[in-house]
Amino acid sequence: MSVALMWEAKAAEGRGGDLLAWARAQRLDGSPLRRETFRAPGDRVLVITWWDAAYDADVPELPAPDAELVSRPVHRWRFEPVEN
């Protein structure tokens, strides 16, 4: 069983590089199977981690950055794989 956690934030005006650096520097308590970091127009940053755990398992998540770094609250979602 596995679960993927998505963490997405939109940087405050002109802080996209700072938010990306912040997200990349965050360490988790535990090692995910995989971790990928993305950026998008509008200074958005997305981090996806994959865990060998049940959908509702207690797995480490990235925290929310300081309020001055983001323009809105962080969005978080969990996903589980499905068969094709």
State pLDDT tens for residues 11-58.
999 999 999 999 999 999 999 999 999 999 999 999 999 999 999 999
CATH 3.30.70.100: does it fit domain 2-59+67-79? yes
Q: ∠ CA(57), CA(61), CA(65), 5° rounding?
A: 155
Tell which residue, 36, 35, 75, 80, has the closest CA to residue 57.
80
Average pLDDT score over residue span 69-73: 98
Taking the alpha carbons at both ends of the chain, their separation in whole angstroms is 16
Residue 45 exposed, middle or buried by CB count within 10 Å (0-12, 13-18, 19+): buried
